[in-house]
């Protein structure tokens, strides 16, 4: 059973492309009035349409978040907010040693602290309306594979925040749902692959010797999974379900891969290490080995 969408707001962060844009369009098609957070004016014009109202929204900018809360509050009597979809994210596949502490902080600002700030700003209104918080995590919020450490760390943290928030606000009528996509064909994954290649050139020679083969293999694996991944619309359909069903689950996976990887957490760590290493071997370039003798520029 689903809830009525008549005269209801949904706020979506990171709605310029990919899952966010697909969700905005699907929500609008269902009759919601969507406040679609975008970073650039060109993105605003691309997403604008019936029931889709683009808003400039950098979730690391307190003024933008206050403006979003003000916009929602203006409509709170005639058009209450049904949900906030915390979707904005950045990704980089870089070994922990080679990922500068400044980039670590930047990633947490977007993938965690920005979502907390948006949620804090809208939570009083969500409590008034009995709305929902939908946090877009990842299979990386359950499993941290090699070079995914920084991204996975932010998603593990988002999962923890979601669990705690769910237990805090349930008595106030607000439901908190986590969405865990696997491989989805989005621009973000493509940017992560490109960023990893750039990061190789920024590494020291010693770091390239240590991690060059690994980074190339992970990039090749990510590119292959992108080609075979689900369309963004598949993730959007799951998000819409989480917003509209009367009794949503606390977590939804998107795609068979995500469901299977989530189940691997029950296996011993050493076995998982071997499984993930074996999965990377077909993607190694000729001449590379996972050893200290490997270099990135052979």
User: Taking a C-beta distance cutoff of 8 angstroms, is the pair 64, 56 a contact?
Assistant: yes
Tell which residue, 197, 182, 240, 215, has the closest CA to residue 20.
Answer: 240
Quick one: tokens of 173? 């009528």
Unique residue bearing structure tokens 């990061």? 199
Q: Which residues are catalytic?
A: 151
User: Taking a C-beta distance cutoff of 8 angstroms, is the pair 125, 81 a contact?
Assistant: yes
User: Taking a C-beta distance cutoff of 8 angstroms, is the pair 107, 33 a contact?
Assistant: no
User: Taking a C-beta distance cutoff of 8 angstroms, is the pair 213, 296 a contact?
Assistant: yes
Tell which residue, 89, 92, 100, 101, has the closest CA to residue 215.
Answer: 92
133/162 Cα distance (integer angstroms)? 9
């Amino acid at each position: 059973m689903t809830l009525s969408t008549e005269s209801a707001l949904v706020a979506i962060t990171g709605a310029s492309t990919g899952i966010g844009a697909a969700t905005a369009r699907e929500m609008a098609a269902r009759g919601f009035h969507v406040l679609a957070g975008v970073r650039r004016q060109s993105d605003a014009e691309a997403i604008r349409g019936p029931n889709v109202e683009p808003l400039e929204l950098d979730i690391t900018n307190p003024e933008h978040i206050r403006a979003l809360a003000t916009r929602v509050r203006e409509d709170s009597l005639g058009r209450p907010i049904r949900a906030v979809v915390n979707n904005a994210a950045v990704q980089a596949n870089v070994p922990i040693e080679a990922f500068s502490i400044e980039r670590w902080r930047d990633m947490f600002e977007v993938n965690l602290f920005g979502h907390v700030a948006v949620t804090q700003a809208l939570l009083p209104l969500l409590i008034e309306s009995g709305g929902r918080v939908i946090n877009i995590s990842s299979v990386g919020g359950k499993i941290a594979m090699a070079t995914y450490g920084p991204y996975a760390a932010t998603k593990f943290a988002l999962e923890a925040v979601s669990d705690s928030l769910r237990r805090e606000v349930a008595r106030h009528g607000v439901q908190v749902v986590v969405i865990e996509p696997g491989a989805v064909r989005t621009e973000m994954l493509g940017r992560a692959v490109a960023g990893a290649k750039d990061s190789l050139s920024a590494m020291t020679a010693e770091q390239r010797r240590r991690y060059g083969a690994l980074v190339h293999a992970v990039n090749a694996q990510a590119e292959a999974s992108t080609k075979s991944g689900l369309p963004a619309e598949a993730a959007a359909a799951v998000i819409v379900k989480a917003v509209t069903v009367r009794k949503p689950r606390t977590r939804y996976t998107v795609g068979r891969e995500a469901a299977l990887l989530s189940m691997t957490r029950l296996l011993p760590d050493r076995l998982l290490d071997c499984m993930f290493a074996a999965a990377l071997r077909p993607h190694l370039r000729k001449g590379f080995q996972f050893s200290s003798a490997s270099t990135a520029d052979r």
